[in-house]
Amino acid sequence: MARICYGVAGEGRGHATRVRTMVEMLRREHAVTIFASHDAFDLLHAAYHGTEVEVLRIPGLRHGYGRGGRLSHAFTAVTALPFLLRLGTVLGWVTEAVALRRPDLVITDFEPLLPRAARRLQVPFISLDHQRFLVECDLSDLPPRLYRAARFMSHFVRAFYSGQELTVISSFYVLPVKATAHPVLQVGVLLRPELERASVSHEEHLVAYFRRGAPPRLLEVLAASGRVVRVYGAGSRPSRGSLQFRPIGEAGFIADLASAAALITTAGNQVVGEAVALGKPVLALPETGNMEQEINAHFVARCGAGRAVPFDRLDAACLKSFLEELPELRAGLSRLPGKGNEAALAAVERHLPGQRRIHRGGAVARRLLPQPVAAVGTR
């Protein structure tokens, strides 16, 4: 049995969902301690309360939003200041907490404190997230505006940590990988056990999921679709015509998604990948100002997972066109990468005591790892 410390970014639910999927596989044979902040702590602490999996709260970074729910880089910087000003103190006690658990391996899902603690303690660590695609992958085929944004964001992603033995990128699409000094493995989206067990059908209702609520104009467009729409993320309230407002909850969301005709959602990698795995086409609505989501939305359309429309530009005509294309889109989903659970678990276990092999040198290292099953745009 190995001891693993696992750091997870607290923004949204996608990071926590991916980490819980990995922990469910790892806890069968290993001792796992999770270090999480914000939304991720709330979700994971509730999931593992009373179990052998320890969940500790740590400070973390999160996005700042301005007027109209637009992602604001200025507000994000302001919200980051308290974290950055306390970084030395926080890193000291996080390092002590990690040292007390004597880990054989540290894993980070876009969380910057655990890698720094690992380096101080000379404990090997690996990266397992989605965001590292901005650093490790060739994005030259993006439209010029998105390519410039990706280049800009890559500097911040790179600054989060370095020195990992392995980078695992979990995504619903696959991209060419640059030559790197460490091995890079691309895997499909990690599917939580409840989703894998879900009974899939294709009924008429739609599921809509929004991280930060939905403006009235967007709800009006959904209400005019002619279908029942089960709305998550806009708060629990009485139904309004064909709109059924659901509280955020794992069991209800999975059941509704597994039986839906399609998903309408902000363009988070995890939720898009889960929909694709269930055979549900996606209408991606990237949050205004969120360039990572805009890039994800671009690949939703590019790889055939669905269609993309800016969050504030969805209208009745766009929605009608998407619904008319559902049979064609559904038929193409089987060509996309499958789930990444087994490949990600095997990669982690190769870096545990007795099995660890530190691979150096980009192209050679990549040949030692499973290769992607498809490329973006492959038909």
Q: What is the pLDDT of residues 84-103, one digit of tens each?
A: 556 667 899 899 999 999 99
Structure tokens at 223: 């209400």
| 3-193+339-367 and 198-335 in the same fold | yes
Per-residue pLDDT of 231-272, as tens digits, reads 998 888 899 999 999 998 889 999 999 999 999 999 999 999
Provide the residue ranges of all domains of the chain, joining segments of one domain with +: 3-193+339-367, 198-335
CA atoms of 58 and 53, how far apart (whole Å): 16
CATH architecture of the domain 3-193+339-367 equals: 3-Layer(aba) Sandwich (3.40)
For residue 343, the SS3 value is helix
Cβ atoms of residues 229 and 222 within 8 Å: yes
- The pLDDT of residue 34: 98
Residue 121: C-alpha distances to residues 83, 99, 118, 164 (Å): 22, 7, 5, 14
Give the CA-trace dihedral at 305, 336, 16, 89, to 10 degrees. -100
- The pLDDT of residue 214: 83
Class of residue 310 by CB neighbours under 10 A (exposed 0-12, middle 13-18, buried 19+) = middle
What is this structure's pTM?
0.85
State the amino acid at position 273 in one-letter form: G
When the pLDDT of each residue in the chain is averaged and rounded to a whole number, the result is 87
H helices of 191-268, where? 193-196, 216-223, 250-258
Residue 3: C-alpha distances to residues 27, 120, 168, 279 (Å): 10, 17, 20, 36
E-state strands within 171-213: 184-187, 206-209
Structure tokens at 301: 């359309």
The CATH code for residues 198-335 is 3.40.50.2000
